[in-house]
Every structure is written in structure tokens, then in C-alpha cells.
Structure 1
Amino acid sequence: MTYPEHIRPVTVTRDRNGFWTHPHYFQSASDEATRAEFGDWMHRHNLTCATRWMENDAPPHVIAAWEKGSTCISDWQPSAPAGEGWFIGSIHDTEDGPVCIWLREVK
């Protein structure tokens, strides 16, 4: 399996709070990224993505702690989408809560 240049699976080493971003992951040109910008980036790198929201995927104790103000989500191990070739692009916080962005090459 081949991956686009610079966007290959790498070892995920999450920070003390459980967040991590691939070193070659999408970076917006401005403070507010748009879906179109992200879509263009994925197209340029021949990638597709899938999301896992912590609120729908994490163990109840992680969700409960987050809702009580904890900033640590390291006990959440995001579920991979069905199929082969997925790798983590980012585990980060958003206005809607923590999310894991899975990436894979478009066949």
C-alpha cells in the first residue's frame, strides 16, 4: 500500500492529556479552517477521512470526567473505522468536544 508523500502512518505518541496530531496534518491558512479548505487538502493528498467523536466512542468514565471539567482523555482509545488502511491524523478538541480524525488513501 502506498501513501501520499508525507502523509503516512506514524507512531502515535499522545500528550499527557491524550491529544496528538500527525506532524503533516492539515494546517489552516487562517484561524478558522473551512470544510472546503480541509477537503482541498485531502484531495491534494489523495486521502479520505472518518471521524470518531469522543462522546459516542469513549468509555463512560472518560465522558463523565470530561463533562466535569477534566482535560484528560488519555483513556479513550478511538475506534478505527471499518476497512483497512486507516491511520490517525489527529486527536484534538473542537467546539463540539474531542474528536479523532482517521485518514486513509483513496483507492
Structure 2
Amino acid sequence: MWQHPDMPDFDEGDGDKCKAWFAEQGLEVMMDSLEYASPEIADRYFESNDPDCSYWEPDRPDGEGWYCLAIHDTDDGPVCWWARRVTTP
């Protein structure tokens, strides 16, 4: 659906490669799923059989510095990957 232009394309099964890339970039990553959005949003998406989820506003994680890294479809519907730089004390 969309991803940050600097993020490589990962295939299904590339979990270790993906985690390694996050670590190399110094990123902390959190995921939000449309599947767990409000019933109105989730039902609208799953009952429409339409891939458009532009009306969904994924929940940003608590804290500062989070930005949307990617929104893509899964077998369970769209997910949003939020990322931020890892800060060291």
C-alpha cells in the first residue's frame, strides 16, 4: 500500500532480514492493525471488499518521535508500522 522510500522491499518469510535492517537503521518499530480498530472502522473495511483503507487513522504509539514507516496489507487486513530512532542514554 505504502512504505517509506528508503525501506527495502521484504518478502514474506524475511522477518530476520527485516529485523536486522531495523537494527542497522537504529529504529524501534511498533505495529498497529486495522483489525483491532474501532468496530465501525474494522467492519467498514472487512465488509466492503475494497482495499481502500484511507479513512483509517492508525494509533500512534505513546512517546515522541514516531513516524509512519509503512502501511501494508496482510492476511488479517492492513497494518501500520510506526518507527522512531532509538535513543541511547
Structures share fold, TM-score greater than 0.5 = yes
Tell me the SS of whatever aligns to 2:29.
strand
Aligned counterpart, 1:60 = 39
Cα distance in structure 2, aligned partners of 1:36 and 1:56: 25
Deviation of 1:33 after TM superposition, in Å, equals 3.9
**How much has 1:97 moved relative to structure 2?**
1.4
The equivalent of 1:40 in structure 2 is 20
The structural deviation recorded for 1:77 is 0.7
What stretches of structure 2 of length at least 5 have no aligned partner?
A: none
Partner of 2:86: 106
Q: Counterpart amino acid of 1:44?
A: E
Q: Superposition RMSD on alpha carbons, in Å? A: 1.5
Please state which structure has a larger fraction of its residues in helix: 2
- 1:93 Cα deviation after fit: 0.3
Q: 1:79 maps to which residue?
A: 59
Within a 5 Å distance, the mapping from 1:21-32 to structure 2 comes to 21-28=3-10, 31-32=11-12
Structure holding more strand per residue:
2
Per-residue CA deviation, residues 4-63 of structure 1 (Å, 9 max, x unaligned), is xxxxxxxxxxxxxxx4211112322xx434221111000111111000001112x43331
Identical-pair percentage: 34
Matching residue's letter, 2:79: V
Q: Structure 2-normalised TM-score?
A: 0.84
| Paired position in structure 2 for 1:93 | 73
Aligned residues: 86
Q: TM-score, normalised by structure 1?
A: 0.72
